[in-house]
């Protein structure tokens, strides 16, 4: 189909002004990790995710996935990769260093030191045995709990939701968020995301604002499932 110049220049109503520009880009915070590595690697998938306006490095795809899943939890305040760094003494009296893959800072003030491992490699890696040694020597001020996280400990829905919240959290539409927050304050019980979007009169932008409300802890899902239009949500702190 041939398009006329007038049709080509017609504003795209699906994209809100102003159009994003690299001139408005704000540098993110530097990684807070205690250990860094080269990103050029043929053996692993290394990269950086911008989480809470801070660069969070990952040495493998499993680390990135696990980090996003843990950050998406409502009881997580923030995360710092490649930390904490500790030393431990083995059975022969030799001192060794160990850097955890992630520290999870929870809303209740507790800190969880996490190591990521593929489920198939946990046994032969000896990571659980190492954690058994570390838990007896690590200071409570460093971590309240040690965790070995594998891909079997979260669902595909958990990962999908985490990646969705991560992607949408970077959008900045405060007026949309305020409209959805007003709807949340008026809620008397559970409601579908589709209903909230309809009442917001924001279309797809209303869906994104609802996802941000879930990520910010204003709403919670009533079931452990995919975040989509048919999902049912309820204001955080409400029974149901």
**Sheet with strand 76-81: strands edge to edge:** 76-81, 102-106, 111-116, 145-149
Q: What is the pLDDT of residue 113?
A: 98
Query: Which domains, and CATH codes, for the chain?
Result: 47-153 (3.40.1350.10), 173-235 (1.10.10.10)
Peptide bond into 228 cis (omega under 30): no
Q: What is the pLDDT of residue 120?
A: 96
Mean pLDDT score, 206-223 = 96
DSSP at 29: B
Q: What is the pLDDT of residue 9?
A: 80
Two tokens, residue 72: 């998406």
Please determine, for residue 170, whether its predicted confidence score (pLDDT) is greater than 70.
yes
pLDDT band (50, 70, 90) for residue 2: confident
Q: Which residues pair with 220 in a beta bridge?
A: 234
Q: What is the pLDDT of residue 19?
A: 61
Q: Report pTM.
A: 0.86
Q: What is the pLDDT of residue 27?
A: 81
The mean predicted confidence, pLDDT, of the chain is 91
Q: What is the pLDDT of residue 21?
A: 63
DSSP at 233: E
């Amino acid at each position: 189909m041939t398009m006329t110049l007038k049709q080509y220049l017609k504003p795209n109503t699906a994209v809100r002004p102003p159009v994003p520009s690299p001139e408005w880009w704000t540098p993110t915070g530097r990684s807070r990790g205690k250990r860094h590595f080269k990103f050029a690697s043929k053996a692993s998938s290394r990269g950086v995710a911008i989480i809470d306006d801070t660069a969070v490095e990952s040495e493998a795809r499993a680390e990135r996935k696990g980090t996003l899943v843990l950050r998406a939890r409502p009881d997580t305040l923030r995360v710092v990769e490649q930390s904490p760094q500790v030393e431990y003494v083995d059975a022969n009296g030799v001192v060794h260093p160990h850097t955890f893959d992630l520290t999870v800072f929870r809303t209740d003030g507790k800190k969880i030191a996490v190591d990521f491992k593929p489920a198939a490699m946990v046994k032969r890696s000896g990571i659980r045995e190492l954690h058994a040694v570390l838990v007896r020597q690590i200071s409570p001020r460093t971590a309240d709990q040690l965790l070995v996280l594998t891909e079997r400990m979260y669902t595909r829905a958990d990962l999908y939701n985490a990646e969705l919240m991560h992607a949408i959290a970077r959008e900045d539409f405060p007026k949309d968020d305020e409209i959805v927050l007003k709807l949340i304050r008026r809620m008397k019980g559970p409601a579908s995301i589709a209903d909230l979007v309809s009442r917001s009169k924001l279309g797809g932008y209303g869906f994104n604002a609802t996802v941000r409300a879930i990520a910010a802890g204003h709403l919670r899902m009533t079931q452990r499932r995919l975040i989509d239009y048919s999902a049912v949500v309820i204001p955080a702190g409400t029974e149901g």
